[in-house]
Every structure is written in C-alpha cells, then in structure tokens.
Amino acid sequence: MKERLYRYYPEDFGRLNFRVLHMDLDFDVFDDRTVVTSHLFLKNMDAPADKISLNCRDLEILVVDAPNFEKYDYRQKDAYLDIYFNPPIQRNEKIEIITKTVCRPTKNLLEGLYYDETPADAPPQQITQCQQWGFQRIVPCIDDMTAKCTYRTTIRADSRYTNIITNGDIAVPRKTVLTDPASGLSRDEIVYENMKTPMAPYLFFLGVGTYDTYTREFEYPDDYCFDLELLIPPGSDKNYAEQSLDILQDSVMWVYLFTGPESHKDVEIKSQIFDLIKLRDHLKHNLNSASINPENLNKTMDNLGAVRDKIAELSKGLTFGYKYTGTVYREIGMQNSDFGGMENVGNTTITTNRIMPSKNMLDGAFEYMADVKAHEYYHNINGSEVTGNSPFEIWLNEAVTVLIENEFHAYFFGEEYTRLQTILNLYAPISGTFALDSSASSMPILPDGFNDPNDLITSVTYVKAPEFVQMIETLIGKGAFSRGLDAYHRKYSHKNARTFDWIHEMEVVSGMQLMRMSNSWLHQTGYPVLAVAKKYDAQSGEFRMKLVQNIPYTKQPWQFPFSYALCDRKGKIIHEDIYFVQHREEEIVIPDVDQPAFVSLNRNGSFYGKIETDINPDQDADIKELRIQAKKDKDIIGRWLAFYTLTDMEKKYLLLHRNAEARPEYVDLYHELLCDHSLLEMTGGLFLTLFESVDDEEYAHHYKELYNVRLRLQTAIAKTHENSLKIIYDDYSEMQDPEEDKLFSMRGSLRLKAGQIKRRQVKNNALRLLSVLDTPEIHALIKRQFLTAVNATDRAVAFAAWLNSSAPEKRDLTQIYMEECKKDLVAWEAFLSAVASTDASDCLELVKMVEADPMFRIEQANDQRALYGAFARNRKYSLQTPEGLEFLKQTIIRLAGINEYSTVGLLNAFSIIDFMNPKYYVPLVDALVTIAESVSAEKSPSVYNRIIKLLVGAPKAVRLYEKEVREIPFLQKQEISQ
C-alpha cells in the first residue's frame, strides 16, 4: 500500500465528541521546567463514552484524575493521553479532568513553552507559541480550533521577573507567596481571568520575562478607555518606545473608525475625527507633562474640552467598527520566533526586531512594523472572536485581516503606493507570489492536506488569499462587502466558521452567486493568464476585446472581475467598466466609441493573474501604444503593467542579442519616468523596479544570464543619463536630523515617515543605477553615503552597492560594518541579508565568513531567515554553482534538526527544477535525494514530504537522474495526488 503524501487531511478534523467549557490552569514556572495543574471542564455531546483522548505532546505525566476515572494510557509517539472511565460518561454529562504534568522549555523548538533571548543577569526568559498545536506541549488538552473556552490562569514564578503574563484581565493582583531563606529568592503569584472571549487553544499565551514596560491610556471617541502596553528589552530607547505606542494607538483607532458595516461611508468625517483624536492625545500628553506651567494648564484643559466636544459632535449618527473588550492590550517583543507576529487574545507577540522603530531599522522593516500592529490587532475580531474551523481555514483568519492591514497602510502611504507594492510582490521573481504559486511546492488556498500547520503559513495564505477576498469585494462593491463582513462577524461571534460560511454571507448581502467562482480559486493552484486580443472598427465605431484563458482543460476556468478602460492620448477615459469573466473564452463588445490611444487592462490589479495582449514587439504602433500608456495612464497599476511589458521586451531583446546594448527608446523612457516628480511622489522608487526576470519560461530561470541582462540595462541608463542621475540623487537627498524623530507623534507620525521613505527610495534607486558604472568617482559617492548616512536604509543600500563594486577596500569595510552591526540585533539581521543577497562573485565566501562568526547563532530564527533564506533565493549562486549547491544542501541537512519551518523555506529554492537548463537536473535532484536520505521522515515530516513534492513536481529532472545515476526508492512508495 502506498504511503499518504500528507499527514493530515480535511476528514481528520470532524465534530468534537466533547465540548470544552472552561480550563482552570495553574503554572509553577522554574528555570528548567514548568509544573502545570489543569482542571479541564467538558461536556459529552455524543453517545456514552468510556474514553477520552487528550492531545499531549512531550509532557511528563504526574497525576490524572476524574470522576469515574479507571486508568490512563500515554501514547507518547502518537501524542495522546487516553483516559478511561467506568462507568462511561453519559451524553450531556459534564465532567472535570484533573492533570498534573511537567513541560520543559527548549531553545530551538519554537512551539509550546520555549526560551527567548534573556537579558543580562535576569532569570530565563520564557514565552509560549501555540499556533497551531503548541498548547498540547504545555498541558493535556483538546488542541483543536473548535475547542474554544474560557480560562482562569494562576502563575507562580521567580519574583525577579518584571512581567508575568497570560490572556485575560487580572483577577488577583501579583503578590509574593514564598521566599527561600537559603537563597533569598522569592516567588510571586498572579491570577488572570479570560472570561469575555472564549479562546481557541492556539491563542493561549504565557510569558515570564524581564522587560521595560511602557503603558498608555487609549481613549475612544465616546470616552471609553483601556490601556495599551508595550514590553520590550531592558534599556530600549524611550523615544522609540513612545513612537511604537504612537503607531499602535493609530492602528487601534484606525480599525475602530474605518472598519465595520459602514466603513465605506463618511470617510472624510472619520478622517477629521482621526486627526482631532491625534490632537486630543497630544493635549493629554501635555497635561501629563511635568513641565507644564500653571499658566498653560487651564488653556490646555479648555482646548482639550473643546476638542472632545468636536469629536463627540462629528461622531453623532456614525457607525464604527471593532471595539476592544479587554482592560489591557499588550504587545510583547519576542526575539526568536518562526513568525513576525502572533495574535494571542490581548497579548500580541511581535518579533523584537519589528516591534518598535530604531536607528538601525530599514524602511521596509518600518513599514512591516506598522502593518503588523494593525494586522495582529484586527485578529481580535477576525481570528479570535470569530475563528476558523480547522487549520484548513487559516486562510479565512488571515485573508480578510491582510485586506484590512493593506487599507490601514494605504491610509498613510497612499492607495497607489500600497497597491503597487502588492503587485510588485506578486510579480517578483523567485520570492514573488506568482513564482511560488506556479512552482512544484505550491498548494491551493484550501489544500488537499498538510504535514504541519506551518505548511499553511505561505504567501498563498497571506497574498493570494487576500487577493481572492479583494476580487469578491470588487465584484460586489465595498458597501456590500463591509456589510457582509459585519454580518459574518456578528453571526459567528465567539464561534467557529468554515470557508463557505464566509462566502455564504457575501452571497446573501450581495445577491450574487459566488460559490462557483470560489471553488476554483480555493482548490486550484496557479492563476489565470488572460490573452486579450483588441480590435477597433473605424467605420462602425465598435471596439471588441476577445478574452481567452490559457489554462489546461483539466482545470476549471477561473472567474474574476476584469477592470478595463479605453483612454485617449492624454490618458482621459473614453469608456471604462468591470466585466465579470466566467468562461474560458469571452468577448466584450463596446459600440459607438471613439478609437482609443491605448487600453488599460486589469486596472488596480482587479484580478490575481497576468495579461497577455496582442502586442507585437516588431510593430511600432503596438510599442508606441505601450509607451503612451506608461506615461499617461491614470491608473497606476495599468501604467506600471505597460512599463513592465516594455521592460520585459527589452530584457528579452538583450537575452537574444548578447552583444547589443539597451535600445535608446527604452533608456529614454526610463529616464523620463525617473524625472516624473508626480509619479515618484505617489509611488516612491517602486514604479521603476527592475526585476532579474522575464515572463518567457524558456529563459525565466537562467539566473546568471538574467543578472547580466539587468546589469546591461542599468549600465545603459547610467551611462546615458549619468549627470541627470546625479542631479536626481542630490535633489532627493535629505540631511535628516535624527532629533526630528523625537517629534514623531507631534508631526503626523506615519504620514511624515511615508514621505521620507518614498524620497529615499528615489534617491537610492539613482545610486543603484550609478553604482553599476563602478568608477572611482562613484566608489567615492557610495562610500560617502555609507559613512555619512543618518538612517539605516541609506547605509544599507550603500553597503550593498559597495559589496557589488570592485572597490579595493571592500573586504575591510565589510569587516568594519559587521563589527558595528553586531552591537544591535536589528542591524545584524539586515547585515546578514545584505551579504547573502549580494551579486558579487565572492557571495558564498562572504556568507561562510559571517556564518563562522560567533555572533551568528543558527538556533535563532531571524539569523536563519536572514542569512540562509537570502542565500537560497540567490539562485545564481545557491543552485547554479557546485560550491553554492553543496553549501545549501549541507545547510538544509543541518537546519532540519533545528527548525523545520525555516528549512522548508530553504527548500523552496528547488521548486522550479524542471524549468531550468537540463544541465542542472542531475546535481539538483541529487541534492534533494541526499537531503531526504539524511533527515528523519518521522522527526522532520514537513521537510521530508516537501522534498517528495518537489521531486514529484520535477518529472523530467527525475527521469534523467534515474537514467544516469540511480532509482529513487523512497519516491516509488508515495501516494501522489496531483
């Protein structure tokens, strides 16, 4: 009998026989162990039962007791604690199961209770991570997303801990309960109750640690208040901590004002309220300031009263969104985690490198920091109050939350910038969602199965699934969508929901049939490629577009909204519409319309997929149409797609003409766009991104050649417009005073930062172009920026340019920069990524040098992702050089026993073997076979099964390997479901 490809399938998640009502938990936390006493209250919902099986992984069992208790059996290999009853538990009977167990924290298994980075001279920092099945590593339980219940939690731990925390509100304040006379060490006890929001076990959090704690009152427009709390490493910069709270405060208020059933209404009034609240909070800060003098006190109080009155007046009659129900909302910095953030009902953990701004934080990391705060907070309603029914519904918890996160980002950075950032994420080679979604390792939004819940934490869940949700929103309209989402949240509040529960609510509120559309998007990998043939009849004034989906007949046609516009030479819209594509072939006919200068397709990225138009690269009229669109389209995505198509054509030309230079028409177009101030004000440097890729699959995985093509393109631009690039570099440079950061919250916070980030992108794009000239003059420019930069991004960009240059002191500067970055974990992470991403020929040598340094710790997830992850994605070295492939292979084997999640991420580098040059087939397959034979299928199931999937997805390469080398015996045993 063939083995199953996946460990878990949908049928493994059925209705629970026992309903969990409540848990009383008692944690006695010590440095090397935690003793947990649990009182688990259950109700039998089914036939009389003489046994209940609790999830129980790697625990030491001390006590098991219950009414009618007969015996227990701990099946450690299967991670079940079977408890037998005599007589059986009757239907509707309530029981209490008491267990006393011991769990032991680990350093590298980042699930359950584990050690985090411990401050100097402090007791061991210990936190939990329960997604998805970490709770069973802490206490015997029913570790299922539908096992939502209330909790009362008592914790005793070393009195030296500054913070002892879990979910809920404090029921019994912290007090000292025991002091050891010999050592003088005391233990404190605190009790929490989480009674308002029944909580799925994966949302449980417990932490004992030493932190600096910052607290701020959050006040809603109706005067209701609760506390925001920030827990960060001791000695953290106070100004940055306050900035972090500013952004968290903005996130919470934005969610309240701009989500909910009428989120699309009264947006301008809500924006006024938001700004007034910023002013109100600034006045409150002044009132609490020790420096306020008596003369200003009354004036400030009068102003505060007037602002509150105005907020109340504007709020009358408005309907707002989610309102927090607890007394404290807390963000906790976790240095070591597989995830950037994790919601835990009132306790959100965020990787310490992203929880607050710092002088060493790159701009991209700053944007992530702002987004993750809004994202994790919104999970309080979408994920915590309403929870998916099983791990297969993780997408349901995440997709809407990402959509809200994107809207939050757009409010401060601009809709064009935010949407273009997402589109670039789709199109990016290697790590982009389109690339990953068409690879051998891809899974659909609702997969057939999985080996570990972490398999579901992918860009399909976090990018493709939100795009699916946005397509629903586009089809039914923002008003219907917001009302449907509100109805879904109200109907399933404190309950679990299935995928089609959400879709049903959208159908009810819109009156549209969405199930057929949803089935293809949820169950198929890949995306639609829509061929569009355009034809205009000058005599009749009729315009036609024939739409053909290029998909195998084994797949269902995709259904999606297709936004288009016919535009004149100045970009003015002649005709526009959103058409619902439902079939493999369709035609749009527009009668009595003027001939357009260009047609803007897939405006605003209306559907998740690509467009193939009838553009002939040898036809001047077609190229001219694209150039007009790249300059004049009012829709930023349509405009970028035109520019992307022209760039793709130019790269293809350079691939086919190895001795040619980039053509002047393209070089001048690029320069004209680079000089378009209004464009750059909207999009920063994003619009002019040059990927190392082409759409043609015949060449798409020739990584070395594509790197050289991009270099030739950049060189042509830099040589032709060197002086102009220097002017742009100077014009967009800013000698920002670091002291300005102290004015962060007074000057508009995220809006201020957004403008600075966009300007830096433009300046650094100019520097990257100039750096390819590799002259002593440019070396001096790069070095000057590196030495004088007042922000981390400018310094990091200069360092990357320096690495790629032929400057003689490159190695010395690398050593100096490395020593500086060692002093700060945020800077260290950025340094590792820069080294592993370099285009320089000594990339692997630099990676090995950094890896050998004592500062590099392989058990730290941030270090793994930054160094090994970046190198794996640098395929021109990791896959296309023998020494790079050997290094990647050995790294994966070593890392598999340390962190499975990070290891699976490295394996994604092999997801396109069959698309590469056949000369790489044998060494790449051999690397995967060696890894599979070196790791334990039992201890590392996700790694082992991902390799199986990669090999199954590379049949041509496997055939050649088996013909020239040997058969792969473990591959023949698998049950392969395509």
* Tens digit of each residue's pLDDT (9 = 90 or more) over 785-833: 999 999 999 999 999 999 999 988 777 888 889 999 999 999 999 999 9
For residue 744, what pLDDT is reported?
44
For residue 585, what pLDDT is reported?
96
Question: Residue 288 — very low, low, confident or very high, per pLDDT cuts 50/70/90?
Answer: confident
* pLDDT tens figures, 129-161: 998 899 999 999 999 999 999 999 999 999 999
Q: CA 501 → CA 304, 341, 397, 504, 514, distances in Å?
A: 45, 27, 13, 5, 12
For residue 977, what pLDDT is reported?
36
Question: Residue 166 — very low, low, confident or very high, per pLDDT cuts 50/70/90?
Answer: very high
Question: Residue 746 — very low, low, confident or very high, per pLDDT cuts 50/70/90?
Answer: very low
Question: Residue 978 — very low, low, confident or very high, per pLDDT cuts 50/70/90?
Answer: very low
Q: Residue 755: pLDDT above 60?
A: yes
For residue 2, what pLDDT is reported?
45
The mean pLDDT of 346-365, rounded to a whole number, is 95
Torsional sign, CA 799, 800, 801, 804 = positive
Specify whether the CB–CB gap between 975 and 949 falls below 8 A. Answer: no
Domain 395-527, architecture per CATH: Orthogonal Bundle (1.10)
Q: Which of 457, 452, 34, 385 is nearest to 206 (CA)?
A: 34
For residue 736, what pLDDT is reported?
58
The mean pLDDT of 708-716, rounded to a whole number, is 97
Range of lowest pLDDT (280-289, 365-374, 921-930): 280-289
Specify whether the CB–CB gap between 164 and 157 falls below 8 A. Answer: yes
Which residue, chain included where needed, has tokens 């090999």?
951
The mean pLDDT of 121-129, rounded to a whole number, is 96
The mean pLDDT of 504-521, rounded to a whole number, is 97
For residue 621, what pLDDT is reported?
82
Q: CA 920 → CA 506, 816, 915, 958, distances in Å?
A: 48, 37, 10, 11
Domain 10-210, architecture per CATH: Sandwich (2.60)
For residue 55, what pLDDT is reported?
98
For residue 902, what pLDDT is reported?
93
For residue 741, what pLDDT is reported?
52
> What 8-state DSSP symbol labels residue 141?
B
Specify whether the CB–CB gap between 573 and 565 falls below 8 A. Answer: yes
Cα dihedral 148/153/157/161 (nearest 10)? 70
For residue 291, what pLDDT is reported?
61
- Considering only the top CATH level, what class is 816-978? mainly alpha
Contacts for 701-708 with beta carbons within 8 Å, 24 or more apart? 701/875, 701/912, 701/915, 701/916, 701/917, 702/655, 702/917, 703/875, 703/876, 703/879, 703/880, 704/876, 704/880, 705/655, 706/429, 706/651, 706/655, 707/839, 707/876
Question: Residue 298 — very low, low, confident or very high, per pLDDT cuts 50/70/90?
Answer: confident
Range of lowest pLDDT (246-250, 365-369, 942-946): 942-946
For residue 620, what pLDDT is reported?
80
Domain boundaries defined on the chain: 10-210, 395-527, 816-978
398/383 Cα distance (integer angstroms): 8
Kindly give, in sequence order, each residue whose CB lies less than 8 Å from that of residue 467, ignoring residues fewer than 6 positions away.
422, 426, 605, 607, 608
The mean pLDDT of 549-565, rounded to a whole number, is 92
Which residue, chain included where needed, has tokens 């670091």?
738
For residue 811, what pLDDT is reported?
79
For residue 172, what pLDDT is reported?
98
128/710 Cα distance (integer angstroms): 45
* pLDDT tens figures, 179-204: 888 888 899 999 999 998 899 999 99
Mean of per-residue pLDDT scores for the chain = 93
For residue 974, what pLDDT is reported?
56
Question: For 469-501, b where at least 16 C-beta lie within 10 A, e where not — what string?
Answer: bbbbbbbbeeebbbbbbbbbbeebeeebbebeb
Torsional sign, CA 696, 702, 703, 708 = negative
- Helices 636-656 and 620-632, packing angle to 10 deg: 140
The mean pLDDT of 282-295, rounded to a whole number, is 75
Work out the percent of the chain whose per-residue pLDDT is above 90: 85
Checking DSSP bridges between strand 225-232 and strand 163-166, what pairing results, if any?
Answer: unpaired
Range of lowest pLDDT (6-10, 629-633, 684-688): 6-10
The mean pLDDT of 772-777, rounded to a whole number, is 96
For residue 971, what pLDDT is reported?
83
For residue 204, what pLDDT is reported?
97
Question: Residue 123 — very low, low, confident or very high, per pLDDT cuts 50/70/90?
Answer: very high
